[in-house]
Structure 1
Amino acid sequence: MSDMTDKILWADDEIDLLKPHILFLKAKGYEVTTVSNGRDALDALENEPYSLILLDENMPGISGLETLALINRSHPDIPVIMITKSEEENIMDQAIGNQIADYLIKPVNPNQILLSIKKNLHSREIVATRASSEYQQDFMRISSLINTAASIQDWMDVYRELVRWELKLAETDNSMSEMLLMQKRDANSNFCKFVKRNYEDWVTGSEHPLMSHEIFRQRVFPLLDKGEKTCFILVDNFRLDQWKVVLPLVSEFFNVSEELYTTILPTSTQYARNAIFAGLMPLQIATMFPQYWVDEDEDEGLNIHEEKLVQTQLDRFRRKDRFQYTKLNDSSAGEKFVQSLSSSRDIPLQVLVLNFIDMLSHARTESKMIRELANSDAAYRSLTESWFRHSSAIDIFRRLAELGYKVILTTDHGTIRVDNPVKVVGDKNTNTNLRYKVGKNLSYNPKQVYEMHDPKRFGLPAPNLSSSFIYACNEDFFSYPNNYNYYVQYYTGTFQHGGISLQEMLVPLVTLTPKQ
């Protein structure tokens, strides 16, 4: 694993007694320079580059801890492994406080030192090699899962496996990432066929997976019935992989129970999110509460009636639960919400919408700088994790745990990074979403889409009697023939939603129980 460029500096006043260890490291391919005190170690560092330093804590002249402090000032990038006879806790604390790479207590055997060196110099390479090997071994098993998936639960298992490997391989510059991308595309292609075969039965029949309009009834109301203070948090555009990078931050305050649910189509705010809050399919909302339904061609905001829709759902089930609805678009609003929680702690249901990831998704389409920052799924996840860690979001979860709230955390849909344009022709009233279209006299290749010619059969209102819905699959996006090249260049590589993919339709639904 090592090569001759790995130079190690070993400072110990009993260095002559360590010759067997030095010979062992040299046999493993490391070049070892030895000195007997801290001052000589500092001089050696000025004259030659080193990959790692082994540093005795108890040396004459300047001590190991003093040497460590000086090394950190002049060469903070070089990992230091401190070796000492002392087991005193305060010395360990000082060493750790100075950000040592490892701490070994004498007597040490050569394999202990080798293990620490590998951990600090080669762990990334070792992990990458191991991950590649394990994924290659797992490839056929996952391919079999994809080819034999016959239920929505099977597809959830496939998606979890793909996300698990995506996160694992992303930790290193891994050569298997391209193979995983091909496997994700194969999975999405088969998943789209599965949805085409089954979606109408889900909407019209009694046998179906948990879907958007059932979330409150099946996950929120049972908590309220038990007398639990409950906070329902909807993070817009929140995929499973994004949840996974946020999970370690949330689990500091909560015990976590995680599942996936299946969003309705279209996987867009107007339809999926309104279905969650109303507890109804979109057609039912438009029929029962036309004042709260906004058609595709209207200028009014598509999600401005969410609080009223929640109230209609409570009323329909004859529930008297008091609730507070809050939509947060920035950190300052989040800070105000945190401050307000103490005074509203007697309200049994908090309904909270966090819009950051949705704004990030749109900004990535429109802003060149954000495109550069989020130029891949891994970068998109990283921005999500950074937002969560450094914004008021983490404070919201901390405060909810302190106040004893059970939290249902979910989203209305995910997103997919698109890169394949599919031509569609429609009239001026056709909607602008890139992953689904609704309109009359749409012209397209039917082999490339999922069609709904009778929207009402799928629980959807139709702007006109002859309106149809079509959905993009895989990584496709709809583009118009006019100004085609500009359109394709502008939207290729952006994150979109509305269509059919594992990323858009199978999304996290998490129950959080405070640890205290």
Structure 2
Amino acid sequence: MNMIKILWVDDEIDLLKPHILFLEKKNYEVITCSSGTEAIETIDQQNFDIVFLDENMPGLTGLETLNEIKEKQDSLPVVMITKSEEEYIMEEAIGNKIADYLIKPVNPNQILLSLKKNLDHSRLVSEKTTSNYQQEFRKIAMELSMVNSYEEWVNLYQKLIYWEMQLEDIEDAGMFEILESQKTEANIQFGKFIDKNYASWFRPNSDSPTMSHTLFKDHVVPEINREQPTLLIVIDNLRYDQWKSFESVISNHYKKDKELAFYSILPTATQYARNAIFSGLMPSEMEKLFPQFWRNDTDEGGKNLYEAEFLDAQMKRLGLSHLNYEYHKITNLKSGKRLVDNFKTLKNNDLTVVVYNFVDMLSHAKTEMEVLKELASNDKAYRSLTLSWFKNSPLLEIIQKSQQMGFKLLLTTDHGTINVKNPSKVIGDKDTSLNLRYKTGRSLTYESKDVFVAKDPGAIHLPSINMSSSYIFAKGDLFFAYPNNYNHYVSYYRNTYQHGGISLEEMIIPFIVFNPK
């Protein structure tokens, strides 16, 4: 490892000889300067890992030197050392992005701590994270063999996401592979759990989680309050880890009041899950009560064109038609900006619902565009892309405006998505649905171990396209592929983001309540 090189700038540098000897014994190289001007020249000629800078020097002051250093090398950490505890000096220094702030007289251990904090920080964090996960790994492995309720699955999935996001910043590929194998194993066990329990969640008086069709009545309605306008944002196709990636951005504007994980219905696809949120009904009920709005997989035309009408019907059914409410769907940048510009007009609504379609477009574009296949090649990259979009999107502007105007904010999604890795062969007739993660149709032939089968769609409240229709749902990271043109099809769709099937990523999704800061 290269020796760490320190520049120490102080007009009384001779008095610091003991400190410098102490650091040299610890294997640090220390170069000294006695003025700001000399320091700037030295930085032009040599590379340093960190600078210790006295604030109170004749000639160029510490703050002036700091400004010059930052103009030349913005990323070079500077530790300010000062006799003065005056607030304005601290504020100036912090505003100029100092790495640390020490008050004279400093002792050698303070210096050492500052070095560790600034230079060894990532290594120490990395080592600590790795050892913590190694301990947690055993616990997760034990939980995986015992988990047996929908609440336990939520806890386990949230734990896996937490560790995935902790480990993504450290340079230990081996640890990441172990976590990936745990996620794969978790999805295998989760598939078995859903296979065994999903249908029972619809029986009267059964212990069942909050699901797409009960979310609005049970969790949105109690938050609507005539004293304060409420904004409900439904981001299409948002996974739990993607929400976690931009949570800190929202927390600049809003305070989180509560967070819960709920379950998307099957299929985890927009026409089923999002229509269920807005109608408060399962798909077979929608088909029966609103044939004019419901579209089956094989029907022509858009499948999500009547969310506003479904919402309207649900509000009436829940006795809430006296409230002022509005529905907006954002499908491109232009309509997002238009809503930002007109946001003031929403102040008088009790409830404003915004469906935001970007993440869905991202996952579909990834399938079709080579550049996005590169940019979102794995879950870490997919999260990063979502965060980058969110920080620069009209959606963040909408959230900022709603905070300024005192709106309560509810944030959720209709389902998540999974990076599919392995094909599973399926054969169906020409009327079989096209989705890669679920199929509905007659006479389907499939690999039994790869799927959850609903031979009687009515038992899980799904419509039958005809008398002998059944549904199959792919588990884990599988995707359905037809035998004809198999190899081309498989290489085209492998490592793309798909939804409609059974995985922790698709089914366990967030609902969050915020109050403005």
The interval holding the TM-score normalised by the smaller chain is over 0.9
Query: In the alignment, which residue of structure 2 is the partner of 1:178?
Result: 177
Query: In the alignment, which residue of structure 2 is the partner of 1:128?
Result: 126
**More off after superposition, 196-205 vs 31-40:** 31-40
SS in 1 for 2:241: helix
Distance 2:441 2:26 in 1: 69
Q: Which deviations, in whole Å up to 9, do the C-alpha atoms of 1:385-440 show, x marking residues without a partner? A: 22222111122112222333222211110011111111111222212211111111
CA contact (8 A) 2:11 2:35 kept: yes
Distance 2:449 2:138 in 1: 28
Query: In the alignment, which residue of structure 1 is the partner of 2:292?
Result: 291
Query: In the alignment, which residue of structure 1 is the partner of 2:327?
Result: 325
Query: In the alignment, which residue of structure 2 is the partner of 1:273?
Result: 274
Query: In the alignment, which residue of structure 1 is the partner of 2:107?
Result: 109
The 3 A distance-change label for structure 1 pair 86 and 318 is closer
Mapping of residues 138-153 of structure 1, within 5 Å = 138-153=136-151
Matched residue type, 2:29: E
Distance 1:392 1:439 in 2: 40
Matched residue type, 2:190: F
CA contact (8 A) 1:204 1:458 kept: no
SS in 2 for 1:343: helix
Query: In the alignment, which residue of structure 2 is the partner of 1:204?
Result: 203
Mapping of residues 332-371 of structure 1, within 5 Å = 332-371=334-373
The 3 A distance-change label for structure 1 pair 225 and 42 is closer
State the Cα distance separating 1:91 from its structure 2 match: 2.4
Distance 2:54 2:490 in 1: 61
Query: In the alignment, which residue of structure 2 is the partner of 1:188?
Result: 187
State the Cα distance separating 1:104 from its structure 2 match: 1.6
Distance 2:515 2:61 in 1: 49
Matched residue type, 1:278: S
The 3 A distance-change label for structure 1 pair 66 and 406 is closer
Residue 437 of structure 1, aligned match among 436, 439, 443: 439
Distance 1:83 1:324 in 2: 57
The 3 A distance-change label for structure 1 pair 255 and 39 is closer
Q: Which deviations, in whole Å up to 9, do the C-alpha atoms of 1:208-247 show, x marking residues without a partner? A: 1111101111112223367553222111111111111221
CA contact (8 A) 2:226 2:350 kept: no
Q: Which deviations, in whole Å up to 9, do the C-alpha atoms of 1:237-288 show, x marking residues without a partner? A: 1111111122112223322110000111000001111111111000000011
Query: In the alignment, which residue of structure 1 is the partner of 2:486?
Result: 484
The 3 A distance-change label for structure 1 pair 227 and 146 is farther
Distance 1:358 1:86 in 2: 55
Distance 1:66 1:315 in 2: 66
CA contact (8 A) 2:324 2:348 kept: no
Matched residue type, 1:196: D
SS in 1 for 2:198: helix
Distance 1:445 1:75 in 2: 59
Matched, 1:418 2:420: yes
Query: In the alignment, which residue of structure 2 is the partner of 1:48?
Result: 46
The 3 A distance-change label for structure 1 pair 225 and 492 is same
Distance 2:403 2:201 in 1: 36
Query: In the alignment, which residue of structure 2 is the partner of 1:459?
Result: 461
**More off after superposition, 99-108 vs 464-473:** 99-108
State the Cα distance separating 1:97 from its structure 2 match: 2.9
Query: In the alignment, which residue of structure 2 is the partner of 1:22?
Result: 20
Matched residue type, 1:99: K
CA contact (8 A) 1:4 1:31 kept: no
TM-score by length of 1: 0.96
Distance 1:60 1:254 in 2: 46
Query: In the alignment, which residue of structure 1 is the partner of 2:260?
Result: 259
CA contact (8 A) 2:225 2:350 kept: no
Q: Which deviations, in whole Å up to 9, do the C-alpha atoms of 1:277-315 show, x marking residues without a partner? A: 111000000011111011111231110111011111122
Number of matched pairs: 513
Matched residue type, 1:204: R
Q: Structure 2: which 5+ residue stretches go unaligned?
A: none
Query: In the alignment, which residue of structure 2 is the partner of 1:89?
Result: 87
SS in 1 for 2:188: helix
Distance 1:123 1:483 in 2: 52
TM-score by length of 2: 0.95
State the Cα distance separating 1:318 from its structure 2 match: 3.4
SS in 2 for 1:353: strand
Matched, 1:219 2:219: yes
Mapping of residues 225-240 of structure 1, within 5 Å = 228-240=228-240
Distance 1:293 1:216 in 2: 19
Q: Structure 1: which 5+ residue stretches go unaligned?
A: none
Fraction of identical pairs, as percent: 47
State the Cα distance separating 1:76 from its structure 2 match: 2.7
Distance 2:332 2:205 in 1: 40
Query: Following superposition, which runs of at least 4 residues in structure 1 exceed 3 angstroms of deviation?
Result: 224-228
